[in-house]
Amino acid sequence: MDFGLSPAAEEVCARMWGFMREEVFPAEREYEQWRASHDPHAHPPVLERLKESARKRELWNLFLPALSGLSNLDYAAVAEISGWSPVIAPEAINCQAPDTGNMETLHLFATPEQKRQWLEPLLAGEIRSAFAMTEPDVASSDATNITTRIARDGDDYVINGRKWWISGAAEGDGFVIAQARLGPGRVHHAMRAIGMAERALGLMVDRAKSRVAFGQHLSDQGVVRELIAQSRIDIDQARLLVYKTAWLIDSRGAKGARTEIAAIKVAAPAMATAVIDRAIEVFGGMGVSDDTPLAYFYAWARSLRIADGPDAVHRRSIAREELRRERPFTG
């Protein structure tokens, strides 16, 4: 396995870091201040400014190999960078969920007419899309429980059901198509979680170097050094697992990476919540305030362990594959 990035991906990552430092990070305060005084569901103008800049920098629709020329492994590195500012950066480069998965689905399965109506404006960043799976009355982690039904009515379709926690802007082969969108998208989610964890670790280190308690800097205390060291180990382990998954998707397709896709759904958000929690511990009260992004990061990472399916469901899938696996030797 070769996890080295292509020269094109190296160059894109360099441009992405420039975009983050020069525009995205400085825009975070403006974004939050605007939302605090407006409808929280409204669209902060700063995002349109960032989207226009991202287009000029050729940092647009990078998630789709057919357009960007990047492999899933290549894009994983870009997704990690965007995870350093998980609310703003993905949308600024038109690589935000659930639009990426929906665009992939339309790209793979839509008719020419459907592509003109929905895919093209999504790729242009002119509209947003949604993903509606969760229902309040059933365990939606088991997709076979879904009670919403769609029926043809002449030239139209009637959808009847109640949905909850719709992500984004608010069947026959439908299940198969839905599963097809869940491969590369899981890599995107996982790498953004790793990006959040990296930023949390950076904040933890800075805090430990500058904060004094009991007569010495926190960075000189063994317990804090242990938190920092374990965080580095956890992040790097998770990244390697996601890189392996992306490599398998590139070389064998999503079906050839079923176990690994389920594994990163568990490993990456769990790692991120653990690292962010350690950073909060080092910051103390400040860590649960709005003075740092840590509290928001923690809520985001913990929510991902529900929105991307409960850990228990993914472990069940992994265990099922493991129980089928043939061993070279037993006993």
Does residue 53 contact residue 23 with C-beta atoms inside 8 Å?
yes
- The two tokens of residue 3 are 């996890």
Alpha carbon distance 183, 258 (integer Å): 8
Which H/E stretch holds residue 150? strand 149-153
Report pLDDT for 309: 81
- The two tokens of residue 41 are 């569901």
DSSP string, 256-275: GGHHHHHHHHHHHHHHHHHH
Query: pLDDT for 145-179, tens place per residue?
Result: 889 999 999 999 999 999 887 766 447 455 444 54
144 contacts: CB under 8 Å, gap ≥ 6: none
Per-residue pLDDT of the chain (331 residues; tens, 9 = 90+): 888 889 999 999 999 999 999 999 999 999 999 998 988 778 899 999 999 999 999 999 999 999 999 999 999 999 999 999 999 999 999 999 899 999 999 999 999 999 999 999 999 999 999 888 888 888 877 778 889 999 999 999 999 999 887 766 447 455 444 545 555 678 899 999 999 999 999 999 999 999 999 999 999 999 999 999 999 999 999 999 999 999 999 999 888 899 999 999 999 999 999 999 999 999 999 999 999 999 999 999 999 888 878 899 899 999 999 999 999 988 7
Alpha carbon distance 6, 12 (integer Å): 10
Query: pLDDT for 199-253, tens place per residue?
Result: 999 999 999 999 999 999 999 999 999 999 999 999 999 999 999 999 999 999 8
Report pLDDT for 183: 54
Report pLDDT for 184: 66
Average model confidence (pLDDT) for the chain? Answer: 91
Report pLDDT for 175: 46
Q: Which residues pair with 152 in a beta bridge?
A: 157
Does residue 74 contact residue 13 with C-beta atoms inside 8 Å?
no
